Amino acid sequence: MGGSLAFALRSLCKSIVGVDTNEDVLLYAMSEGIIDQKYDRIENALDAVDLVILATPVREIINTINWLSENIQQSILLMDLGSTKVEILSAMNKLPEHYEAIGGHPICGKEKSTIQYADPGLYRNANFILVKSSRTTSRMRIVAEEIVDVLGSIPVWMTANLHDRYIAATSNFPYLLSNLLSNSLPKLAGDVVGPGFLGMTRLSASSIEMMMDIVITNRVNILERISEFSDQLTEVKGLLENKNYVDLESILRNGKLNYLEVVEKSHKVN
Instruction: State residue 240 phi and psi, 5-degree precision.
Output: -65, -45
The answer to the question of residue 60 lying near a second copy (CB under 8 A) is no
* CA 74 vs CA 46, 96, 132, 203: distances in Å: 9, 10, 21, 40
Q: Which of 33, 199, 244, 247 binds a second copy (CB under 8 A)?
A: 199
The answer to the question of residue 232 lying near a second copy (CB under 8 A) is yes
Of residues 67 and 245, the one with the C-beta less far from a second copy: 245
What is the total count of residues that contact a second copy (CB under 8 A)? Answer: 89
Contact 82, 124 (CB under 8 A): no
The answer to the question of residue 178 lying near a second copy (CB under 8 A) is yes
The window from 24-32, 40-48, 103-111, 138-146 that contacts a second copy (CB under 8 A) reads: 103-111
Q: How far is the CB of 105 from a second copy (least distance, A)?
A: 8
Q: How far is the CB of 235 from a second copy (least distance, A)?
A: 9
Binding positions for a second copy, 127-156, rule CB under 8 A? 127, 129, 156
The window from 2-10, 17-25, 32-40, 248-256 that contacts a second copy (CB under 8 A) reads: 248-256
The answer to the question of residue 259 lying near a second copy (CB under 8 A) is yes
